[in-house]
Amino acid sequence: MGRFIQIVEVGPRDGLQNEKAVLTPDVRADFVRRLEAAGAKRIEAVSFVHPKYVPQMAAAEEVMAALPPASGRSRIGLVLNGKGYDRALGTAVDEVNVAMSATDGFGLKNQGLNVDQQVEMLSDIMAGRRNAEGAPGATPKLTATLSCVWGCPFDGEVSVEQVSELVARIAALGVEEIALADTIGVGDPWSVTRKVEAARKAAPDATLRLHFHDTRNTGLANAYAGVEAGVNILDASVGGIGGCPFAPGATGNIATEDLVYMLERAGFSTGYDLDKLIESARWIGDRIDKPRLSALSRAGSWP
């Protein structure tokens, strides 16, 4: 087998949060199980946010209660602040992903916090984790996702220096995995290379993950650039569903099945069953009334 590229499936969270359809907790849990049957080992299953603002993500606790722990699986809960983090700790999530922003504009819109306040929030969470070391019930793994790395709908362009400085601050707090996200899909392969290289220099001991949206049809090209730059972990959403309700124009993610097809045709290994992924994409498309959104869900695999 070739080099292994881990694909973190984000359909149940980033995929559903921007759709008009509000699915029940049972259907969302079924979605997670179907994706795991297709090969997902790490999956962003829920988001601990206020249902007033993101009703699609309501009842995260119920979704997690319907997903008993499974060996070799990691269910991730996204949080925006300390309150969300505390909610996550009350469930069986295996990982907590703290969402942050590279810009004040998006941070204030998404979380009500500017960049410095977000770093302070993360610092408080990390301090609490250190204080809990040795306590019964180990805290779940923690990662951070930095939104709007390639551009902000409110503040415009985001420089390499902005990203580098913030990645260094996050890594200094002890976060071992940092995701760089193109929230509104404005990146290009060459800027991906530059910002990955800068992030690696800023946090040489951290693991980098990349999260691309295909808003302007550059998602797969950007994923290619990330892999060529040495990144081994990519986010994707089955069917290409998703977006951000707080970022105007932020439409779907890279489709997991399209990404798996591209990588495995090139000789990489992903651990996914492509036929089952396509089946899952069609299944969720029917439930949100958006059938066959991705290229692979329309054309199928080959040969």
Question: Which residues are identified as catalytic?
Answer: 244
String of b and e for 242-271 (b: at least 16 CB within 10 Å)?
bbbbbbeebbbbbbbbbbbbbbbeeebebe
The secondary structure of the chain, three-state, reads CCCECEEEECHHHHHCCCCCCCCCHHHHHHHHHHHHHCCCCEEEEEEECCCCCCHHHCCHHHHHHCCCCCCCCEEEEEECCHHHHHHHHCCCCCEEEEEEECCHHHHHHHCCCCHHHHHHHHHHHHHHHHHCCCCCCCCCEEEEEEECCCCECCCECCCHHHHHHHHHHHHHCCCCEEEEEECCCCCCHHHHHHHHHHHHHHCCCCEEEEEEECCCCCHHHHHHHHHHCCCCEEEEEHHHCCCCCCCCCCCCECEHHHHHHHHHHCCCECCCCHHHHHHHHHHHHHHCCCCCCCHHHHHCCCC
